[in-house]
Amino acid sequence: MGKKWRQLKYEDRLKIYAWLQDKISVATIAKRLGVCRQTIYREIKRGEFVKRNTDYTESTVYDPYVAEEHYQKKLKERGRDLKIGSDLKLLHYIEKKIVDEKRSPAAALHEIKKEGKEFTVTLSTNTIYSYIKKGIFLNITMEDLPEKKKQHKKKKVKVQKRVQAGDSISQRPEHIDFREEFGHWEMDTVVGPQGKSKKVMLVLTERKTRKEIVYLMPDRKAQTVVKTLNMIERKCGERLFRDVFKTITVDNGVEFSDAEGLEKSRRNKKKRTKVYYCHPYSSCERGSNENANRLIRRHIPKGVNFDKKSKTEIKEIETWINNYPRKIFEYDTAENQFINEMEKLTG
């Protein structure tokens, strides 16, 4: 999905200099070199040089010699900082995992064991974070890391302005909170820039396994959400749908206002699921959903127009999330956890 990761060479720096002189855009330069735009932005920053012009004014330009000198200096610093010698293969491996495959430091270290890789140096997660802060990794900054978990203070429940379409989360059976039973989902929409993007993403998260189902919808209408659930039911079959989607917890957005349409089967109108509505302004009541949305934003940042995204691209993101190693599962994936639960259901 991302550009193939690689280290920039001095020859690349000379090309970058020439292309910048020709007013070639960063996006085009990144494409020509086969790297992501962030790599080029970092490289330009690394090679910044204040030039004095003939009229005695100053301007900041990119200098490939300055960039190469900075690169070589960092290489030496990396060797000293590791203390056990310079294991550049390990550093390159971690950079590839974090930058190209969008792994967290902990997930990157786990995949060393999973893939049976052997390096001369052993690093801890905290050490990797420390190296990133110090600039030891040339191609990783703190911006490349997954969003750190924020401490959420419990908010007082505000009085609703609009009547809920269905039952409140307060009426949801308490055992669902413990994530021990399979089949309880959270549902939300992820939207693009207001006034520019008509398409939205519908995101369903299974609370126990963290399995994600992501659909690109043409709009945010309540009837479109119902149609999408109908499509999922058609693929599953009515009986299996009832077993897999026991409950769905949503917020009070207008797209979820048709509680009856969400809950009733498309064919016989029998109850296929139970929908619960969160308290207003309480996104923390759908914690799994919110975490999934942050993972999606690692691929599609805020401000990106969803109208330019294809269903295939969205399904690729869904696959990446479901196959991401999770610390909570001892670095197993949500996909494997979901498959195990489905096998129990279907025998």
pLDDT tens, residue order, the chain (347 aa): 455 556 788 889 889 988 998 899 999 999 999 888 888 988 998 888 777 766 667 778 888 888 888 877 776 665 554 543 457 788 788 888 888 888 888 998 999 888 988 888 788 888 888 877 776 676 777 777 765 544 444 444 444 444 567 899 999 999 999 899 999 999 999 998 887 889 999 999 999 999 999 999 999 999 999 999 999 999 999 999 999 999 999 999 999 999 999 999 998 889 999 999 998 766 666 767 777 888 898 888 888 999 999 999 999 999 999 999 988 898 899 999 999 999 999 87
Say what the pLDDT of residue 157 is.
Answer: 45
What structural domains and CATH numbers belong to the chain? 10-144 (no CATH), 167-346 (3.30.420.10)
Nearby residues of 329 by Cβ (< 8 Å), 6 or more positions away: 336, 337
Q: Which residue has the tokens 């978990």?
A: 149
Q: Which residue has the tokens 């599953």?
A: 236
Say what the pLDDT of residue 78 is.
Answer: 57
Say what the pLDDT of residue 159 is.
Answer: 42
Between the CA of residue 231 and those of 189, 236, 248, what are the distances in Å? 17, 9, 16
Does the pTM surpass 0.85? The reply is no
Q: Residue 234: what are its φ and ψ, rounded to 5°?
A: -60, -40
- Maximum alpha-carbon separation in the chain: 81
Q: 205 has which bridge partners?
A: 186, 212
SS3 for the chain is: CCCCCCCCCHHHHHHHHHHHHCCCCHHHHHHHHCCCHHHHHHHHHHCEEEEECCCCCEEEEECHHHHHHHHHHHHHHHHHHHCCCCCHHHHHHHHHHHHHCCCCHHHHHHHHHHCCCCCCCCCCHHHHHHHHHHCCCCCCCHHHCCCCCCCCCCCCCCCCCCCCCCEEHHHCCHHHHHCCCCCEEEEEEEECCCCCCCCEEEEEEECCCCCEEEEEECCCCHHHHHHHHHHHHHHHCHHHHHHHCCEEEECCCHHHCCHHHHHECCCCCCECCEEEECCCCCHHHHHHHHHHHHHHHHHCCCCCCHHHCCHHHHHHHHHHHHCCCEHHHCCECHHHHHHHHHHHHHC
Say what the pLDDT of residue 148 is.
Answer: 52
